């Protein structure tokens, strides 16, 4: 960060005490800047109209053109470093925000997985064996249901157990897919239960089905 040391302008008047005539007039202007640890020192002095300019970098006298070029280069580098620091700060914020969002999505994914596992367990009820209401808008077949249990759920578990922060969009898509799957399984369960109640004539089975309603 550029630090500007006090800029000042001084005018000294030396006056002869008897006739009040001005003996000497001194005007002094000085500006010092610390840019990235480099001290730029410009001094302008006027004594009785005689002007003297001096440019120094880290206390070493230099020509005006060299002073201007190095001052501009230092200011440019300082600006670039400030921009880089700001960019890194934004990236850090975005990373932390993404990590927090992924953590929430991971929990939602785990909850959705638990719900789906619960629905699958309910569908495994022996009472439903002959009454499974497979439909294209729910689960189309026994093979599809088996694939869901043996392939899809293990993959979901792997995603949940990932320690490395993943893509937020990927998690959001997964959440949407799980929500859709949960809805399909819920409808399959209700349709299967209704079909079992509708088609079963066994009073013992009906009593057990009644407990599921």
At CA 180, angle to CA 158 and CA 116, rounded to 5? Answer: 50
- Positive or negative torsion for Cα 124, 112, 182, 169: negative
pLDDT, tens digit, 9 for 90 and up, residues 73-132: 999 999 999 889 888 888 887 777 777 887 888 888 889 889 999 999 999 998 898 899
Q: What's the predicted TM-score (pTM) here?
A: 0.57
pLDDT of residue 163 exceeding 70, the answer is no
Cα-atom radius of gyration of the chain, to the nearest Å?
Answer: 40
Mean pLDDT value across residues 155-181: 77
pLDDT of residue 12 exceeding 70, the answer is no
pLDDT, tens digit, 9 for 90 and up, residues 169-193: 777 888 888 899 999 999 999 999 9
C-alpha span between 178 and 181 (Å, rounded): 5
C-alpha span between 190 and 195 (Å, rounded): 8
Residues in the chain: 213
pLDDT of residue 45 exceeding 50, the answer is yes
Instruction: Report pLDDT for 6.
Output: 43
User: In terms of Cα–Cα distance, which of 99, 102, 120 is closest to 110?
Assistant: 102
Residue 22's pLDDT band, with cuts at 50, 70 and 90, is low
C-alpha span between 153 and 6 (Å, rounded): 69
User: In terms of Cα–Cα distance, which of 9, 5, 7 is closest to 38?
Assistant: 5
Instruction: Report pLDDT for 207.
Output: 85
C-alpha span between 204 and 126 (Å, rounded): 13
């Amino acid at each position: 960060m550029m630090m500007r040391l006090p800029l000042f302008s001084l005018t000294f008047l030396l006056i002869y005490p008897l006739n009040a005539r001005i003996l000497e007039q001194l005007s002094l202007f000085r500006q010092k800047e610390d840019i990235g640890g480099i001290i730029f020192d410009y001094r302008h002095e006027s004594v009785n109209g005689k002007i003297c300019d001096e440019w120094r970098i880290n206390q070493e006298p230099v020509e005006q053109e060299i002073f201007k070029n190095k001052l501009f280069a230092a200011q440019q580098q300082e600006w670039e470093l400030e921009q880089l620091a700001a960019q890194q700060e934004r990236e850090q914020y975005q990373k932390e925000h993404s990590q927090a969002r992924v953590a929430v999505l991971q929990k939602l994914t785990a909850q959705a997985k638990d719900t789906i596992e619960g629905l699958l367990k309910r569908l495994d009820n022996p009472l439903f064996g002959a009454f499974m209401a497979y439909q294209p808008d729910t689960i189309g077949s026994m093979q599809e249901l088996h694939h869901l249990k043996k392939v899809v759920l293990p993959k979901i578990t792997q995603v949940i157990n990932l320690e490395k922060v993943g893509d937020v969009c990927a998690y959001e898509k997964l959440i949407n897919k799980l929500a859709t799957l949960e809805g399909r399984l819920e409808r399959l369960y209700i349709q299967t239960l209704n079909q079992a109640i509708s088609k079963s004539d066994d009073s013992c089975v009906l009593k057990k089905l009644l407990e599921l309603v």
